[in-house]
Amino acid sequence: MTSVSQQAVGAALDRVEGREKVTGEALYAYEHRSDDLVYAAIVPATIPKGRVRRIDASAALALPGVLAVLSHGNAERLPDADGELALLQSDRVAYRGQIVAAVVADRIEIAREAERLVHVEYDKEPHDVELRADHPHLYKPDTVNPGFETDTEEGEVDAALLSAQTTVDVTYETPSFHNNPMEPHASLATWGDDGGLTIYDATQGASPARETIAEVFGLKAESVRVIAPHVGGGFGSKGTVRPQAILAALAARAVGRPVKVAVTRQQMFHLTGYRTPTIQRVRLGAEPDGRLTAICHDVVEQTSTVQEFAEQTAVVTRMLYAAPNRRTSHRLVALDVPTPSWMRAPGECPGMYALESAIDELAIALELDPIELRIRNEPDHDPESGLPFSSRNLVTCLREGAERFGWAERDPRPATRREGHWLIGTGVAASTYPARRQPSEAVARRDGEDFVVSIAAADIGTGARTVLTQVAADALHVEPERIRLELGDSSLGQAPLAGGSMGTASWGTAVHRVCHKLIEEREEEEEARVDTSDEIEAEEEYSRHAFGAQFVEVRVNSDTGEIRVPRLLGVFAAGTIVNPKTARSQFIGGMTMGLGMALLEEGILDPHFGQVVNRDLAGYHVPVYADVDEIDATWIDEHDPHLNPIGSKGIGEIGIVGTAAAVTNAVHHATGIRFRRLPLRLDRVLEALA
């Protein structure tokens, strides 16, 4: 592969859109304007299961300014819609909070007031919302996200576990976790005179969203345009089209005017996806020297009755450590709940929490340092696929982190270090995430002495604009100031979403190729276009992953159960770091979410009402600045020639992957108590310490 010259790539360039954002010039989905604009407000179901018997909208329609009340009785038919996007297509209620009606009014205040006046009568049915390992309706899905085998087995796992000299057999539980990006999900839809649809949407991918929306409405893809120049976070929740986008388009067609819809913070807990709760049993068998002879990872998780989503929780266990006997499985139960979906590092995040916790328990059982145990089980090729790794520097990350963290000074015995009321401990965990890329189209053209590069990428706050500008600048051999990047618009061609840690690799390949083509192959031309489909289809077969290690120090108050985190360190191997400034933010952001997963975040379900009761940022706690004293992220210098022309691996998700396990391992080291249920709430810790 041709590599870019190291000019702008590798520089800590400030965000190119920084001024727009701090001055408020950057427009997000709900902030776009349109003539003759009206607003829609959602009427949510107040039962967890049943049917809508009757809707009385008379009081709402009598309110001045109300234009329409949409429901299953009068909404446009969407014959090609299914799952969560079959909006207002039947009287069925599949979960509490589902959209059963919507009010359209000429002011948002009127729409919200009218929404309260819509009276809905239901025929309620018995509901089931609780995940259990012994649920009678567990089943095996055909595949797990995004298409992995559901179950795998190699060797004689049961026999190896029986004959192993040291074994671990433990079960871990994680609750539902909820994406809470700063920008709520919102859409503005308008229909043209030609029957075309334009939507300003809070989406992680304008091109994929266009395809989905066109299918729902039975349109050709070219008749739909999705625009998302700025997106205020997503974490996976904006990776697929959500119901509010369909509602905006339905309402706009019904009233013949552009319609805005914004999902409230509370409604986001129902309508925008979440990480499924899991029950994970991990069994490990090892020789006295620590070499694994067997790994077994069995997962139970939930989906909805509306649409199947199977998180690939155990998939990471298939490739991380060498063991001749391996088995993984996933089982689902369809409950009367909203459909789970992607949340930062889906699968790897909860799966590695269980695996890395079990590895720590095995290290203790073997009286072996947990870093040394991981090193002794380092594979020389991908245990699952048999492919060589394009690069694998997990051991380097572990050793570099141990040196930086002062691991050698650690007393391996749990509950031995104390300062007054505070019990002090340290923990470690490994992390990994696939390094993928997908085809993209891109256009580059001359604009006087400057250049314009167009690609339907999405910047969800990660710095995509900036790093792609750097890639273009190096390929064109000009300063970044001479590049104007256009993105966030489906009219710019096909491009993958910002997700799966593949954005920079996918878009960057196309940007590099098109800029290179413009100046070296078309010197007399004003414009060049590329499509990287053929290049990516022909790429060599390697197992491509980023790796890392997280180190944590905790202090646990023996009287109150309070947990403090003085230090959190991450060391990563992620290929070429295009921009150290934005990369560090990504790593630290991921680790902060992992800290929240371990200590704070939890969707608390009321089984009687069938809903999450702490559905706001007052009750759903996320980490803040005061929750960790010192947090740092660094990386090793890794060159991997088998990735893409930039040599980069994704960094948006690997930061969260190992952090929760590192925290809980540190808490065990501090207290001598093993917690296997997240989060480590104060009441649970205090009860265990009593």
Q: Which residues are catalytic?
A: 653
Q: What are the structure tokens assigned to 114, written together?
A: 């009218």
CA distance 137 to 114: 40
Residue 537 contacts residue 466 (beta carbons within 8 Å): no
- Distance of alpha carbon 199 from alpha carbon 190, whole angstroms: 7
Residue 514 is which amino acid? Answer: V
Burial class (CB in 10 A: 0-12, 13-18, 19+), 462: buried
- As a whole number of angstroms, the distance between CA 345 and CA 617 comes to 22
∠ CA 552-555-557 to the nearest 5 degrees? 155
Give which of 569, 294, 585 is closest to 404, Cα–Cα: 569
CA 379, 382, 383, 387 torsion-angle sign: negative
| Residue pair 53/124 in contact by the 8 Å Cβ criterion | no
Strand partners, 43: 101
Instruction: Output b/e per residue, 629-644; b: 16+ Cβ within 10 A.
Output: eebbbebbebebebbb
Q: CA 375 to CA 261: how far, in whole Å?
A: 52
Whether 625 contacts 652, CB under 8 Å: no
- At 169 the three-state DSSP class reads strand
- How many whole angstroms separate alpha carbon 488 and alpha carbon 504? 14
List, in sequence order, every beta strand (DSSP E) within 350-505. 418-419, 422-434, 441-447, 450-454, 483-486
Q: Residue 633's closest CA among 586, 682, 597, 587? A: 587
Distance (Å, whole) CA 585 – CA 577? 12
Q: Give the number of other CB atoms < 10 A from CB of residue 377.
A: 20
Extract the tokens encoding 23: 């001055």
